[in-house]
Structure 1
Amino acid sequence: MRFDRAALRDVVAIHDDQGVLSFYVTADPREEAAVRPAWRIRFGNQLADLRRQISADGDRPRRTAVLARLEQLETEFALLLNPTESGLGRALFAPVGSDEVWTFSFQLPVADQVVLESTAYVRPLVNTVETAPPAGLVLVSRDGLRMIDYRYGMAEEAGRTDFEINTEDWRRMRGPAPSGLAQQTVAARDKFERRVDENLARLLRAAGPGVTEQAANRGWTAIALIGDVQLTEIVAAELTGDVIQIDAVVDALPPSKIAEYAEPQLLAARTRFATALADGAKDAALSGGRGAVGLADTLNALNDSRVAQLLLAESREWSGSRTADGRLCPPDQIPQGESAHEHVQEDRMGERMIERALDIDAEVIVLDRQAAETLADFDGVAAILRW
């Protein structure tokens, strides 16, 4: 199944009172030489642990249902663990009480996990895909523009614009010139080249709206212009948003190699973007503006549906509780008029925050270690607010 943000919302919405099974595995090609690759052994061990835990569950109907569902999924597990299938990172979600199955694969590693909860466990999925959100790689040359769509570790051709400069009607002096005309010949040649460059610049500027349209249609969060800097600067002037210029000529490479070449610059751009958001959220919160920092204030904003962008440190985990009506609370904080025994303890509050954010149509931004340093004194969590 092709992954996009709509698919993420579909996965977050999966709920089953008996439980939803979530499986993550990374098919590491470096381990393929082994008779039984380590990643397959890890998956088998985690699955065996889950079966033991379920077998000890005192709720007999639930125990029976989960074990039966695991048996039904054997065919899906075979595909998930098949080294010839595409995708480095793979994910599978299956509610216990139905036959539905959601599977995704990416050219990105995921944290190997097997989880049974009442909802799909999506934080490893969010952490993975947010490291490589949709971006456009635009190769700029004198021959035209070649566009590549790069998302979630996968790169594919997205179209091209060819340039043709018609010079048939232009007079250009050819062949050896008499010595007295040498200076005139040089001037004519320079004039010809200037006309070529002027027309090329016009074609590059005219190509800008097409790149912008592709970016909007494909949801590109960034655009990397790759080529001679004198050419990329012309196109960059016609674009808005996060535009990266890479001075290199890699036109002949396949999409995957071009993406590999551009990835460090894209990663640096994402870190800059996330750091700016974190700084903005902190400054807004501390000045009484539309920002929240720290677990308590961010949870309150999520509960009130005020969050536009939720910022979470990739490596942090949070705990807390959930009230009977679904409000999220930080540890040891009980709303007035309620008692602790009415609350459900939440050891994976990050998961609950992501669910709530997507439910209110907020964007989730995962902060890498560098970007998260801004929020080190604020629990590694913040939000840009709608009001």
Structure 2
Amino acid sequence: MDLNKELKQLENVQREGANKVFTMYLNTDPSDPDQQSGEWKIHYKNGIRNFEQYLEEDENKEELRNFQLIKQKVDKFVKGNEQNFLKGIVIFATADEEVWFANRVQMHVETEFYWQETPEISQLAKLRDQFPKSGIILVQQNEIKVIESYLNEIEDTTSFELDIKTEDWRQKQGPRNSNASMGAGNADRQRDHFDARYEANQQRWYKKIAPKLDKRAKEHSWEKIYVIGEPDSSNDLKAQMNKPVNEVIQKNMLDHEESKVLQEVFG
């Protein structure tokens, strides 16, 4: 979903008379303490019912009919996705279906309902600004993992590993190599040898990978860049990149689940 494009189209929507625009932001976040017993169902039912009762009392039959057409379609979307909810649902709709935007989102939303001449896009615009297209670079000595995210969802992950013999970075395939088959003493000696080489060469090594990261940032239109790693590794990698890094987080999170990484970055 290209949210910038969607928001631009919604900005130009202006209806008149009985054919208004329905807007719904519905919090369905299962981790929210206020949602532990499926309270979203009550909020959804009450939000819809309030508009329906108002229109019935107002005796505007055409507007009520339009609202009920939208209600049917919204009900179908909500019930059809109930088993696959993320953190929220955002819907914009008109009875003539010229406007129909319905998405499950992995972002926390505040439950709101609107029935008016224009779609209420302010909350969605804030979410776009809060969760832009981002490159999150996790670095740990001779390994780098790139998580690309948009709207708090993971779009892609890529890992790179430095070939110590050739000193070239290559895209990593499969699980991390293990020294389990080596004797403890041999593994310790190799580790000490690597640590010494790393300390002497880390800036030069990161200088080799930085152009690949800069190129990816440009080609994939990253709006923000985050580097996460121990202080030496993260700061040295940042210094070698031409693209501006928005934030350095000094934690070793290379082996953490991607969802935990997003939570660390975006809160």
Q: Distance in 2 between matches of 1:260 and 1:69?
A: 35
Q: What code does the residue aligned with 1:123 have?
A: S
> How far does residue 162 in structure 1 lie from its aligned partner after superposition?
2.1
1:144 aligns with 2:143: yes
CA contact (8 A) 1:3 1:104 kept: no
> How far does residue 4 in structure 1 lie from its aligned partner after superposition?
2.7
> How far does residue 226 in structure 1 lie from its aligned partner after superposition?
1.2
Shift of the 5–112 alpha-carbon distance from structure 1 to 2, 3 Å rule, reads same
Q: What code does the residue aligned with 2:263 have?
A: E
Partner of 1:27: 28
Q: What code does the residue aligned with 2:3 have?
A: D
> How far does residue 106 in structure 1 lie from its aligned partner after superposition?
2.3
1:158 aligns with 2:160: no
1:238 aligns with 2:240: yes
Shift of the 231–91 alpha-carbon distance from structure 1 to 2, 3 Å rule, reads same
1:49 aligns with 2:54: no
Partner of 1:210: 212
1:250 aligns with 2:249: no
Aligned length, in residue pairs = 238
Q: What code does the residue aligned with 2:235 have?
A: E
Q: Distance in 1 between matches of 2:225 and 2:5?
A: 22
CA contact (8 A) 2:227 2:245 kept: no
Q: What code does the residue aligned with 2:75 have?
A: E
Shift of the 123–243 alpha-carbon distance from structure 1 to 2, 3 Å rule, reads closer
1:13 aligns with 2:12: yes
> How far does residue 138 in structure 1 lie from its aligned partner after superposition?
0.5
Partner of 1:98: 97
SS in 2 for 1:119: coil
Q: Distance in 2 between matches of 1:249 and 1:191?
A: 21
Q: Distance in 2 between matches of 1:59 and 1:137?
A: 52
Q: What code does the residue aligned with 2:53 have?
A: R
Shift of the 32–233 alpha-carbon distance from structure 1 to 2, 3 Å rule, reads closer
1:74 aligns with 2:88: no
Structure 1 unpaired stretches of 5+? 169-189, 265-387
CA contact (8 A) 1:16 1:97 kept: no
CA contact (8 A) 2:3 2:128 kept: no
SS in 2 for 1:73: helix
Deviations, residues 106-151 of structure 1 (Å, cap 9, x unaligned): 2222121111122221112122332232322101122332111233
Shift of the 242–139 alpha-carbon distance from structure 1 to 2, 3 Å rule, reads closer
Partner of 1:262: 265
Shift of the 144–24 alpha-carbon distance from structure 1 to 2, 3 Å rule, reads same
Structure with more relative contact order (C-alpha pairs < 8 Å, separation 6 or more): 2
CA contact (8 A) 1:54 1:67 kept: no
Q: Distance in 2 between matches of 1:193 and 1:252?
A: 19
SS in 1 for 2:259: helix
Q: What code does the residue aligned with 1:206 have?
A: K
> How far does residue 32 in structure 1 lie from its aligned partner after superposition?
5.7
Q: Distance in 1 between matches of 2:69 and 2:134?
A: 42
Which structure: larger Rg?
1
Q: What TM-score comes out, normalization by structure 1 length?
A: 0.55
Q: Distance in 2 between matches of 1:33 and 1:244?
A: 34
Structure 2 unpaired stretches of 5+? 168-191
Q: Distance in 2 between matches of 1:72 and 1:221?
A: 35
SS in 2 for 1:155: strand
Q: What TM-score comes out, normalization by structure 2 length?
A: 0.76
Q: Distance in 1 between matches of 2:36 and 2:266?
A: 28
Shift of the 262–12 alpha-carbon distance from structure 1 to 2, 3 Å rule, reads same
- Aligned counterparts, 1:1-387, within 5 A: 2-17=1-16, 18-29=19-30, 30=33, 34=37, 37-79=38-80, 82=82, 84-98=83-97, 101-166=100-165, 197-239=199-241, 240-263=243-266
Q: What code does the residue aligned with 1:227 have?
A: G
> How far does residue 234 in structure 1 lie from its aligned partner after superposition?
2.1
Q: What code does the residue aligned with 1:66 have?
A: F
Q: State percent identity of aligned pairs.
A: 17
Deviations, residues 210-233 of structure 1 (Å, cap 9, x unaligned): 222222333333222111222222
SS in 2 for 1:253: coil
Shift of the 16–192 alpha-carbon distance from structure 1 to 2, 3 Å rule, reads closer
Partner of 2:170: none
Partner of 2:184: none
Q: What code does the residue aligned with 2:134 have?
A: A
